[in-house]
Amino acid sequence: MLYVISIIPEDLELVIPGNVGFFEVLIVVSFLIHILFVNITVGSSALAVVQEIKGIRTKRAEDDMLAAQLATHTSILKSIAVVMGIAPLLLISVLYTQYFYPSTILIGKAWLSLLLILLVAFLFLYAYKFTWDKMTHIRKKRVHVLIGAVGSAMLLFVPLIFIVNVVSMLYPDMWEESKGFFHALTYYPQVWQRYIHFILASFAIAGFYLYFWNNRLQKKNGKNEQSKANLCMQKQGKRLGLQVMIGTTALQFIAGTWLLMNFEREIRLLYMGDDPFLTGLLLSSIFVTMILLFFLYLLMKHDKRKYFMMSLASFILVLGIMGWMRHELRETYIKPYKDEVPQTTEVQVNETNAE
């Protein structure tokens, strides 16, 4: 432990500019807002490509229209996702300076490439959206699918860089043997488990958003005369959205269990009875997720507003629980190191001056 502590840099002499507890709440809330738009963007980009391929095979207008709708929303929401990511990035660099910066340096080349990857991905997704009506011939359509697939694949790759970074900061004792981003993909525990957990969440939230948007279109244009293709697209969008959300949310029970089993034994046991609060968080997330699936099933069967509102309330609740549980997990991993190499807080500065 003494050797590991020597690797962790001392915190900056600058005092954390605010109440740490308030910043902890803020980082959870700001991260949840950010990740909500990220999930919709990543999930919608992949669903758009899949739906367009389906449209090529079925030759149904509503399939292609639904794919275009998904591509349009992807190009809009990705910008919001980027902007909303500024706050949690700043907060994590302030609250976890001693861990976030070293873990970032260890994957420095991949981290610096983020901007380039995102710029290229956005260009592909813009081209995917704005060439939709110009590439309707079957040969051009295949090229168009390829454009969308490349943009979507790049978006699917980006979260791996962030996941490796946040996992690395939990394991200071493994920093010395780390050899860059690609080595870290198999070197650190939890990386692929977290990635699968994230991808499933992306499709689930994108599916819920797809239902919400097409339900909104149905109600908004219900009294107006619409084409048959439009009506079919909205109906299909609602059905597809719920099917995707129910399926991927159910798979989260497997992915979540796999992730839990890859925690350090001492930490895993905290979530399995050793710590009442952490165990309560885990059990609450499982229980509320089951309630969410129940209401989603009723919504798919009956399509009533009350079931949508109950599903939405359950979704917001489970999102909040999962967000706070993620924060508690990070704190639990880092706590032994923070006790030995403390943060620079106002209290510590005052005590030093008093001496």
At residue 96, what are phi and psi to the nearest 5 degrees? Answer: -130, 45
Residue 91, CA distances (Å) to 108, 337, 341 in order = 20, 19, 19
> Distance between CA 234 and CA 216 in Å, rounded?
9
Does residue 297 surpass a pLDDT of 60? Answer: yes
The contacts of residue 33 (CB under 8 Å, 6+ apart) are 84
Grade residue 138 by pLDDT with cuts at 50, 70 and 90. Answer: confident
Grade residue 4 by pLDDT with cuts at 50, 70 and 90. Answer: low
The contacts of residue 144 (CB under 8 Å, 6+ apart) are 52, 128, 131, 132, 135
Does residue 341 surpass a pLDDT of 80? Answer: no
Does residue 343 surpass a pLDDT of 80? Answer: no
Q: What is the predicted pLDDT for the residue at 84?
A: 95
Look at the chain and count its residues.
Answer: 355
Is there a contact between 98 and 341 (Cβ–Cβ < 8 Å)?
yes
Q: Which one-letter amino acid corresponds to residue 275?
A: D
Give the domain ranges of the chain: 19-218+225-344
Does residue 161 surpass a pLDDT of 80? Answer: yes
Q: What is the predicted pLDDT for the residue at 205?
A: 97
- Rg of the chain over all Cα atoms, to the nearest angstrom: 23
Q: Name which residue leads in pLDDT, 173 or 227.
A: 173
Structure tokens at 350: 């005052």
Grade residue 159 by pLDDT with cuts at 50, 70 and 90. Answer: very high
- What pLDDT, in 10s, does the model give residues 26-76? 999 999 999 999 999 999 999 999 999 999 999 999 999 999 999 999 999
The contacts of residue 13 (CB under 8 Å, 6+ apart) are 344
> Distance between CA 10 and CA 242 in Å, rounded?
49
Q: What percent of the chain has pLDDT over 90?
A: 79
Q: What is the predicted pLDDT for the residue at 23?
A: 93
> Distance between CA 327 and CA 322 in Å, rounded?
9
Q: What is the predicted pLDDT for the residue at 348?
A: 46
Q: Across the chain, what does the average pLDDT equal?
A: 91
Is there a contact between 70 and 48 (Cβ–Cβ < 8 Å)?
yes
Is there a contact between 324 and 28 (Cβ–Cβ < 8 Å)?
yes
> Distance between CA 247 and CA 206 in Å, rounded?
12
